[in-house]
Amino acid sequence: MLNRRTALKGLAAGVGAAFGTSMLPGLAGAAKSTGGGPKRIIFFLQNQGFDPKTCVPAGMTSSGSLAKAVLPEPISPLEPFKDRLHIVNGLHGTHTSPSHSAFFGALGGYRGGDGVPPSASTIDYELSKELPETLLPHLCIGMDSIENMTTKPTVANLSASGAGQPIFMYSDPNQLYQTLYGGISTGAIRQQHEARSSVMTQIEQLAAAKGEALPTADGQRYGQYVQGFRDVNGLRDRLDTVSDHLRKFAPKVDDRYTNPEFETDWHDCLLDLGISSLTSGITNTLTIGSGRGEIFGAWKGLGVEQQGHNLGHMKQPDNPIWIKIRQYNSRMLVRMMETLESVPEGSGTMMDNTLIVYTSNNADSQHTSGANWPVMLLGNCGGIFKTGCFTQMDTKRPINALYTTLLNVAGRNVDDFNMTEQLAKKFDSGSGPLREVLA
């Protein structure tokens, strides 16, 4: 039976995990220099696998320039952006045992599975601690069928702040809009925001008072839930202090939010909110889970009637269904790049200081050993990353090596990420950063 105390624990744990355990003070840090490294990083993971034949140009079997190559049809919307693209084929994640999905292991570089809690933090969270400070260090959004997004507006499958500490994805754009922009809204949205804020404040105070009478061990555990409420209430207060700034970036609320015809209407709204959180400086690390790290997902708005697990049993190359889904992803990538390109930053634009990592939470296919884990990188962050090229890995390097590289360019000098010496001997033929992606 779900009693009030259990419900409060679940809610507090959710909001605390969604926002992390520390809220940062302001937007000013979003523009500070990072010594030539990226100022923001976006992770975009599509479920059901990323078959290399849908991204590697025909005839390219060895590393080389993309200048004269023609991108495969599934990623053809990226053709005008080939000079900013780096396709990497041949990384692996066999140690993550992905099968239907690696879940947290996809971004953690460790063994994952359905219902298995994270064994360590994931790369997106770790990067959010190294990149310039923002109000919300890390934002996760998840896209799924309208039914799943409605019944489960938040889920945690991909990101984590530590062992047993999942970070929740937002899937209801109305809920996310209220969180980010409720304080600057009017009408019903404003009323809902104020009512929710009042309730959250009261719950925090009540929870704190009740926790004082608990034994020490229980009190410490209960304190984590109380901190979750404090974090979300603190974020709301800090967002209110920069309301004039946020008004310039808040997306327009339309019928897609309240009366979506297809799930892709909500997908598009979530993308708009994700982009606005970057351009406004609210966050510097965005994780997008198309399919939310599981084996579900729907794209009826693209004319795809099939959905969920069955999509993973279809071969992706030359499949009109997967061409539609992958092209939709590619158009989303283009929207992000074009928007960031339109915002000045320093002597260039926001896109000049941004890296986008596109891959799957499930290596190359739904039922996979993880032996090949294709990745696309977009952006060079001031010349740090190679672009306009294709790399075929000739050595046995895990996805952890890519994550090690990202941490290094963000300013944390490390030789590995979530990989013990014993695991490295078995699964990594090299060491340190992935030199093949660096200029």
At residue 202, the pLDDT reads 52
> What is each CA distance from 143 to 2, 47, 190, 271, 310, in whole angstroms?
28, 10, 25, 9, 17
Task: Identify the residue whose tokens are 């034949």.
Answer: 53
**Residues in Cβ contact with 363 at an 8 Å cutoff, skipping those fewer than 6 apart:** 49, 50, 92, 93, 98, 102, 369, 370, 371, 372, 373, 374
pLDDT over 60 (residue 417): yes
- Amino acid in the structure at residue 159: S
pLDDT over 50 (residue 13): no
**106-124 residue pLDDT tens:** 999 999 999 999 999 999 9
Query: Average pLDDT of 194-218?
Result: 52
Q: What is the CA radius of gyration of the chain?
A: 21
CATH of 26-176+251-437, one of 3.90.930, 3.40.50, 2.40.50, 3.40.720: 3.40.720
**322-381 residue pLDDT tens:** 999 999 999 999 999 999 999 999 999 999 999 999 999 999 998 899 999 999 999 999
